[in-house]
Amino acid sequence: DVKVTQSSRYLVKRTGEKVFLECVQDMDHENMFWYRQDPGLGLRLIYFSYDVKMKEKGDIPEGYSVSREKKERFSLILESASTNQTSMYLCASSPGLVDEQFFGPGTRLTVL
């Protein structure tokens, strides 16, 4: 069964901390994505990667960075967490252009 896993389901951090969210897929997919999901705003794309070491900004990249050193792993980094980054973070992967995306279970991050 295909799977996308995320390192934590729930995370609580303090303002100013550096936060790492990790995502791993076992489907050998080329593309990986990070979204945040907020009530009334739906899903918004933060960053995506179409190959190892390649990344592209999405709609809301400010305050975030990403790393993809291996094909199966895509990390989202909050350099200095702020309270407005409290959200649900969803990772996804897809095999190619305009293909179905497979989602992980999400990480609910709270920044105090």
Residue among 42 and 84 whose Cβ is closer to other proteins: 42
Report if residue 111 touches other proteins, rule: CB under 8 A: no
Report if residue 92 touches other proteins, rule: CB under 8 A: yes
Task: Give the contact letters, 34-73, x = binds to other proteins (CB under 8 A), - = no.
Answer: ------xxxx-x--x-x-----x-x---------------
* Nearest-5° Cα angle at 19, 69 to 42: 90
User: Residue 80 to residues 11, 54, 62, 90: CA-CA distances in angstroms?
Assistant: 15, 23, 11, 19
- Which residues does 42 contact at the CB level (< 8 Å), separation at least 6? none
Three-class secondary structure of residue 83 per DSSP: helix
Residue among 17 and 87 whose Cβ is closer to other proteins: 87
**Sign of CA pseudo-dihedral 21, 93, 102, 61:** positive
Report if residue 100 touches other proteins, rule: CB under 8 A: yes
Q: How far is the CB of 8 from other proteins (least distance, A)?
A: 13
Summarize as ranges the residues that interact with other proteins (CB under 8 A): 4, 31, 33, 40-43, 45, 48, 50, 56, 58, 90, 92, 94, 97-106
